[in-house]
Amino acid sequence: MNKKIANQIKLLISSLIPIFIGPILIHFGGLKETYILTILGVIICISAVVMIFMSLFGIINELFKK
């Protein structure tokens, strides 16, 4: 397997951490009515989505490289 594909797969696996942490922070921010936790949770969720798209596009580009 190509090293670039392996790095993209590692990025995809590491995006699991913010996928679970973000909604937890949003939930705790809603319970305690603190907007800082809610905003931080939203930022973490957005970063997780960006990480997923970057890794998937990287894998697709490496697989279909000419």
The mean pLDDT value for 32-50 works out to 92
Which helix (DSSP H) or strand (DSSP E) does residue 21 occupy?
helix 16-32
Distance CA 51, CA 44 (A): 10
Q: How confident is the model at residue 1 (pLDDT cuts 50, 70, 90)?
A: low
Q: Which domain holds residue 41?
A: 3-63
Distance CA 10, CA 51 (A): 11
| 13-39 tens-digit pLDDT | 999 999 999 999 999 988 888 889 999
How much of the chain, in percent, has pLDDT values that exceed 70?
97
Distance CA 66, CA 63 (A): 9
Number of structural domains in the chain:
1
